[in-house]
Amino acid sequence: MSQVEKHSFQAEIQQLLSIVIHSLYTNREVFVRELISNAADACEKLRFLQTSGQLAGVEGTSGPAISLVSDEAAGILTITDTGVGMTRDELVANLGTIAHSGTKAFLKALAEKQQGADGKLIGQFGVGFYSAFMVAKKVTVFTRSQTLGAEGWKWESDGGEGYSIEAAVDVAAGTKIVLDLKDDAREFATDARLETIIKQYSNFVTFPIELNSKKINTIQAIWARSKNEVKDEEYLEFYKYIGHDFEAPRYRLHFTADAPLSIQALLFVPTRSFELPGMGRTESEVHLYCRKVLIEAKPKHLLPEWLRFVRGVVDCEDIPLNVSRERMQDSELLRKLNRALTNRFLKFLAEEAEKSPDTYTEFYAQHARYLKEGILADTEHSAAIAKLLRYESSATEAGKKTSLAEYVKRMPEGQTEIYFLLAGDRAAAEASPYYEVFQARKFEVLFVEDPVDEFVLDRVREFEGKSLKGAERADLKLETPGAGALSEEDAKSLSTWLKETLGEDVEEVRSSERLVDSPVVVVERDSFMTGSMRRTLKLMGQDRSGGFEQAPDLEFNPRHPVVVRLQSLRTSDAETAGLVAHQLLDQARLAAGLLEDPRAMLKRLNQLLSKVVGVPSAAAPSEPAPTT
């Protein structure tokens, strides 16, 4: 019978065990991940020693592998690997002292964090083995080095003050860990529970993992392979697995980077958006791995929230973790990872948009809302996102969209700003009084249909040195005043009369040099506010208390026949002139989308029609209430 050696844990190990068992890990199931990760490391080390010629001979012919055997009735879980194995001295050094595990550094860091810390400690201390004591009342380790002629050893501990070591016979090369589970941890000896944990955390481990002779990790970590070696069918299979989608993805981005961080990433863009209006936000489906082991599923700050439509995996070897591997510790490094991934993805989209505009148009139709959200929420990347925006334009045929860069290339000499106009559709934009001066001056205008676009383009503010300006706020003038216009004196007189007649419904009245075919237009006094913005803010609950109810200015076209006739009518038929003035204001409000209640306007219109056709009208309507 071999002699049993009794050893006491060093004080630091006892302290560590207490921390691991009682407070370090927030989820006990991670012990499976830790022990499988250690087994994978042992297999990887064996392969390295073999290929580098540092291990001359190895017993057995089977390749590196990991197996789990569960005995639910007995409450026993056994994890075996055919990795490098350990000698007696390595067994003592790795499982009984702090020489190699880094435990001393961990405990020092823990002590330094006691004062007002958040508990996020710098990790990678090699203490994953001790997580077994969260679920096991006794842990037994059988191991033998792969070196030919090496002796087998048995290590055993109940997680108390010490452990025992003795020579053992009939021990296979590699390492076998036997966990005698606690009564409240017997779930970890059931096949269903173990399979779920393995697939969640260790599904992409390089070496085969078997559970009671059934291979579990059947999906390869193709992100770790060269993209030249991966077939389209493999990408599709992987996407359907990781993305929970039956359709092929619209785009895929598979890249490797060494600086500023070591990154292997495989990202997909679904064909369709999974976020339906009114159904709430979806969560990110990009998972974070470290050397093919899951660190965190759907981590919140790996990518900015506006990129939540992206799916895939990111594997980064440079991430410091807390000792449990359960969350990232270095927030600055996480920001670097976020920045590197976002920049690379935006560059990829820009390349795809140039390479295949039609495919990008299909992508934009589904995912434009996320890009616009990025403009509003992410100032760091807004300039890059702006290059990806697409809109219809007065310079393109109906249904075709253009980019801001293409707009700038078409700008004629003398134009200094990029103009855009919000309208329900292209026909409404082309019929808008705000568009007339641009059409006359032959200046291109972007037609935007989504109310949020006005906020988006205002946030962009400048593109390639050209400022962006809404057509409603543009201060363009016609190059020639045109024949039949009111004189300057008559225009001033009409302005005064209109202000007196319209009262508080308008702030100011003035002659306009921007109108061609329309008689009047309303203009917001606030340099930021437009009629469409006012409507959007009302929908958001910003009422009078928010300060968005200030009366607009009214501009009239001194060349329009109706306005010219109104100047003479106000002295010959003051009653009719007053009706016309109010009718023109409401028509301008209607064109700007600011007329909420058209009943007074319709009643007044009927009275004017009665006058035109010579039919006696009903009693004159009461003075209409402000309808802005």
What's the domain range around 595?
A: 488-529+549-613
pLDDT value at residue 446 = 97
pLDDT value at residue 551 = 85
Q: Is residue 87 part of a domain?
A: yes
Q: Decide which of 465 and 605 is more confident.
A: 465
d(CA 581, CA 505): 11
Could you tell me which of 364, 351, 466, 381 has the C-alpha nearest to residue 420? 466
Checking if the pLDDT of 70 tops 80, the result is: yes
Q: Is residue 628 part of a domain?
A: no
Band (pLDDT 50/70/90 cuts) for residue 67 is very high
Shared-domain flag, residues 423 and 306: no
Q: What is the CATH number of the domain that holds 326?
A: 3.30.230.80
pLDDT for 191-218, tens place per residue? 999 999 999 999 999 899 999 999 999 8
> Lowest-pLDDT range, 46-55, 139-148, 428-437, 576-585?
46-55
Checking if the pLDDT of 618 tops 90, the result is: no
pLDDT value at residue 529 = 53
d(CA 311, CA 557): 54
> Lowest-pLDDT range, 350-364, 369-383, 481-495, 522-536?
522-536
pLDDT value at residue 105 = 54
Q: Which of 165, 194, 215 lies at the terminal end of a domain, its last residue?
A: 215
Q: Mean per-residue pLDDT for 450-474?
A: 91
Q: How many domains does the chain have?
A: 4
Shared-domain flag, residues 143 and 12: yes
Percent of the chain with pLDDT over 90: 54
d(CA 447, CA 420): 6
> Lowest-pLDDT range, 109-118, 359-368, 513-522?
109-118
- 3-state DSSP assignment of residue 472: coil
Q: What is the CATH number of the domain that holds 420?
A: 3.40.50.11260
Q: What is the DSSP secondary structure assignment for residue 574, as one 8-state letter?
A: H
Shared-domain flag, residues 11 and 158: yes
Q: Is residue 262 part of a domain?
A: yes
> Three-state SS string across 407-451, please?
HHHHCCCCCCEEEEEECCCHHHHHCCHHHHHHHHHCCCEEEECCC
Q: Is residue 42 part of a domain?
A: yes
Shared-domain flag, residues 319 and 450: no
Shared-domain flag, residues 286 and 265: yes
- Given the structure tokens 């109104």, which residue do they identify? 566
Q: What is the CATH number of the domain that holds 79?
A: 3.30.565.10
Q: Is residue 593 part of a domain?
A: yes
CB 304 within 8 A of CB 381: yes
pLDDT value at residue 482 = 63
List Cα–Cα distances, 393 to 224, 259, 435, in angstroms: 44, 40, 12
pLDDT value at residue 609 = 85
| 29's tokens | 């199931």
Q: Decide which of 551 and 374 is more confident.
A: 374
Band (pLDDT 50/70/90 cuts) for residue 136 is very high
Shared-domain flag, residues 83 and 203: yes
Q: Decide which of 254 and 598 is more confident.
A: 254
> Lowest-pLDDT range, 120-124, 187-191, 223-227?
120-124
d(CA 447, CA 205): 51
Band (pLDDT 50/70/90 cuts) for residue 123 is very low
| 531's tokens | 């009629």
Could you tell me which of 253, 291, 269, 17 has the C-alpha nearest to residue 133? 17
Q: Which of 196, 215, 234 lies at the terminal end of a domain, its last residue?
A: 215
Checking if the pLDDT of 313 tops 90, the result is: yes
List Cα–Cα distances, 56 to 39, 49, 67, 148, 579, in angstroms: 21, 9, 25, 8, 104
User: At what angle are helices 561-572 and 574-592 packed, to 10 degrees?
Assistant: 150
Checking if the pLDDT of 324 tops 80, the result is: no
Q: Decide which of 621 and 211 is more confident.
A: 211
Shared-domain flag, residues 27 and 175: yes
pLDDT value at residue 100 = 44
List Cα–Cα distances, 21 to 17, 31, 256, 354, in angstroms: 6, 11, 38, 55
Percent of the chain with pLDDT over 70: 82
Shared-domain flag, residues 34 and 168: yes
pLDDT value at residue 343 = 96
Q: Indicate whether this model's pTM tops 0.85.
A: no
pLDDT value at residue 259 = 80
- Give bridge partners of residue 251 from the DSSP assignment: 269
Q: Residue 508 carries which side chain, given as an amino acid letter?
A: E
| 160's tokens | 């108390």
Q: Decide which of 278 and 436 is more confident.
A: 436
> Lowest-pLDDT range, 452-461, 595-604, 610-619?
610-619
> Lowest-pLDDT range, 364-378, 551-565, 587-601?
587-601
Band (pLDDT 50/70/90 cuts) for residue 102 is very low
In 3-state terms, the chain is what percent helix, strand and coil (to 5)? 40, 20, 40
Band (pLDDT 50/70/90 cuts) for residue 62 is low
Q: What is the CATH number of the domain that holds 606?
A: 1.20.120.790
- Indicate the pairing of strand 66-71 with strand 76-81: antiparallel
Q: Is residue 328 part of a domain?
A: yes
Shared-domain flag, residues 73 and 190: yes
The mean pLDDT of the chain is: 84
Q: What is the DSSP secondary structure assignment for residue 321, as one 8-state letter?
A: B
> In which element (H, E) is residue 460 found?
helix 452-460
Band (pLDDT 50/70/90 cuts) for residue 548 is very low
Q: Is residue 426 part of a domain?
A: yes
Shared-domain flag, residues 206 and 279: no
Q: Is residue 362 part of a domain?
A: no
- Indicate the pairing of strand 5-8 with strand 162-168: antiparallel
Could you tell me which of 287, 281, 295, 282 has the C-alpha nearest to residue 268? 287
Shared-domain flag, residues 13 and 149: yes
User: At what angle are helices 452-460 and 357-377 packed, to 10 degrees?
Assistant: 80
Q: Which of 215, 241, 270 lies at the terminal end of a domain, its last residue?
A: 215
d(CA 313, CA 235): 12
Shared-domain flag, residues 308 and 407: no
Q: Decide which of 234 and 100 is more confident.
A: 234
